Amino acid sequence: MSEKLIEVVDDAGIVRLTINRPKALNALNSAVIGELERVLVELEGRDDLRAVLITGAGEKAFVAGADIAEMRDKTPEQARDFARQALATFKRLETLPVPTVALVNGFCLGGGCELALACDWAVASDNAVFGQPEVQLGVIPGFGGTQRLPRRVGPAMALDLCTTGRKIDAAEALRIGLVNGVMAQGELEAHAEELTKQLGGNGPQAMRAAKQAIHDGMDQDLDSALALENALFAFCFAGEEQTEGMNAFVEKRKPNF
Ligand code: DAK
């Protein structure tokens, strides 16, 4: 039987997804994107979902981009449809109600960088290489890069990266705010386990509320966004989670969420 294109490992609601096409540096073809979409639709329906971590198989690449060989002969209509499928899939990832983290373990180029940008944040191994090199292939980013990259790193840096196509190392990615942290490649797994423990120990509804407040609030003026926070803060007091969390503090024990 063939290997799964997306490996799914579930640790009590903290789900690790691994793009599994290492021989092609995990390049995103329609089959990988279709499988990612299928997995995300399943995750959307889960009330017990707490967080999603996403990485690439092997030690060389997170994702080296959209599959160039597959894209090469596309007509404009086919290209538009391919990009629409990926845009819709990345939107599903972005709007999952739980924290999502890209664990970038190597090349993170083109569609790979766009995949990382659709996550809430990214951490990288020190051998990671980032870039939007599409102009070197005669196209522009098609999976959201021209829109999510400037929102993450600012328009000037996004224009630099999208028009020069230059590649940057993990240290520069950290400096410009493309990633939240950089570590030795051997430490990435330990970091993933630490994240799993940290996120697994927090109130799941509270994490969802924090994500909703930040995501939805960013699209609103400050006063409306503060009102949104206020409503979500009050909502947290309507469930058992707040009672357990605060009782645990007072009783000097760990909460059991
Ligand atoms: N697509 C397909 N195959 C890829 C690939 C990719 N993006 N990247 C690597 N591979 C394959 C290589 O062809 C090679 O396959 P074999 O020859 O072994 O069969 C295998 O992975 C190993 O790669 P290399 O031999 O090249 O490994 P190196 O260490 O020498 O180089 C590299 C690693 C990452 C520097 C190099 O592979 C590379 O430059 N890859 C391409 C990086 C890139 O340009 N990425 C951006 C892709 S374009 C749109 C839709 C989408 C997009 C744009 C528009 N519309 C529909 C409008 C998005 C575009 C992109 O993402």
CATH number of the structural domain spanning residue 174:
3.90.226.10
pLDDT tens column, 67-112:
999 999 999 999 999 999 999 999 999 999 999 999 999 999 999 9
| Rounded mean pLDDT, 23-52 | 97
Give the Å distance between the CA of 68 and the centre of ligand 1. Answer: 6
Atom of ligand 1 nearest to the CA of 25: 21
Please state, in angstroms and rounded to a whole number, the distance separating the CA atoms of residues 81 and 232.
Answer: 37
- Closest residue by CA, ligand 1 atom 14: 24
Same domain, 48 and 166: yes
Does residue 12 sit within a domain? yes
Rounded to 10°, the helix 76-94/30-44 angle is: 30
Residue 1 — pLDDT band, cuts 50, 70, 90? very low
Give the Å distance between the CA of 226 and the centre of ligand 1. Answer: 43
Number of domains making up the chain: 2
Residue among 68, 105, 129 whose CB has most ligand 1 atoms within 8 A, to mutate = 68
For residue 134, the enclosing domain spans 6-200
Atom of ligand 1 nearest to the CA of 24: 21
Strand order in the sheet with 129-131: 61-63, 107-109, 129-131, 168-169
- Closest residue by CA, ligand 1 atom 2: 67
For 96, phi then psi, to 5°, come to -55, 140
